[in-house]
Amino acid sequence: MAQIIVVTSGKGGVGKTTSSAAIATGLALKGHKTVVVDFDIGLRNLDLIMGCERRVVYDFVNVINGEANLNQALIKDKRTSNLFVLPASQTRDKDALTKEGVGRVLDELKQDFEYIICDSPAGIETGAMMALYFADTAIVTTNPEVSSVRDSDRILGMLQSKSKRAEEGLEPVKELLLLTRYSPTRVATGEMLSVADVEEILAIPLLGVIPESQAVLKASNSGIPVIIDQESDAGKAYSDAVARLTGEEVEMRFVTEEKKGFLKRIFGS
């Protein structure tokens, strides 16, 4: 049975698209047939992060409007087999998404794919509501700072009241916390909320903690999902999160400050 996973947050710039790309790639690397759908109509970014921006011909809105069929719009990832991208339209706006249209496209995707990752736009308007409406699981991407946590709390409320599962009285959407841009050093100095603080406020299970990493920006700019870079902490942390998503038990890494060796302390890292 295909699973629809929405990557959402409420607040912008916390790493939804980076996480969508990484998690989709991670699932595909594990052999699951996966598609990642960009719901950010008008502010298309996912194709850049996935490195397929030059191959976009038809998009999500074209499929909804019946101007193209799904196979014409789906872009097969060149690097990873089992992975497909459904890009957003750059020339339209969020109102192009209708519940019926989105539902029809997702139903069609369910026939072919094991995992459907929906990359939600920021905010709580049409685009974000459409992205989360059909979800079975929600990955709530949060930065360890108060405004992001509050916005995530708001989105969790929306999931409990505005999703299809809530409206139809089905089993509620499974909510998972993905803490991104985490810096144990800054937590130690009291500048940043700790994992425990965020978990206490949001009170949902923790899927993973992604450390703040230079590798993320580099990966985004070169169009390679950061999970491919297994040298980086962020890449490893995303791999762990994907493993947990598929039911494996993996210990949390990168949540405590790294002990610096004697030489590192003298010469810096």
Partner 1 sequence: MQKPSLELKGSSFTLSVLHINDADLDGIARELDDKLAIAPQFFLGAPLVVNLSAISDPDYNLAGLKDLLISRQLVIVGITGAPSAIATQAKALGLALIKSGKQSLTQPQLPKTTKIVKQNIRSGQQVYAKNGELIIIGAVGNGAEVIADGSIHIYGSLRGKAMAGANGDKNAVIIAQNIDAELVSIAGQYWLTENLQAHASIKSGCIRLDGNSLTVEALSL
Binding residues vs partner 1 (CB under 8 A): 124, 150-151, 153-154, 156-158, 160-161, 201, 203
Q: Which residue has the tokens 């014409």?
A: 72
CB nearer to partner 1: pick between 201 and 252 = 201
Write the DSSP assignment of 44-74 as a string of letters: --HHHHTT-GGG--S-HHHHHTTSS-HHHH-
> What distance in Å separates the CA atoms of residue 238 and residue 232, rounded to the nearest whole number?
10
Cβ at position 140, least distance to partner 1 in Å: 11
- Which DSSP string do the residues of 136-195 spell out, in sequence order? SEEEEEE-SSHHHHHHHHHHHHHHHHHSHHHHTT-SPPEEEEEEEEE-HHHHHTTSS--H
d(CA 187, CA 54): 40
Nearer to partner 1, 106 or 129 (CB): 129
Give the residue with the Cβ less far from partner 1, 161 or 269. 161
- Give CA–CA dist 206/223, Å, rounded: 27
Beta bridge partners of 221: none
Residue 201 or residue 215: which is nearer to partner 1 going by CB?
201
Rounded Cα–Cα distance for residues 241 and 38 (Å)? 21
Query: φ and ψ at 117, to 5 degrees?
Result: -100, 120
Nearer to partner 1 by C-beta: 81 or 160?
Answer: 160
Quote the least distance from Cβ 170 to partner 1, whole Å: 16
Q: State the nearest-atom distance from the C-beta of 203 to partner 1, in Å.
A: 6
Nearer to partner 1, 72 or 147 (CB): 147
User: Nearest approach, Cβ of 150 to partner 1 (angstroms)?
Assistant: 5
Query: Least CB distance from residue 157 to partner 1, whole Å?
Result: 3
- Closest separation between CB of residue 129 and partner 1, Å? 13
The strand pair at 34-38 and 83-86 is best described as parallel
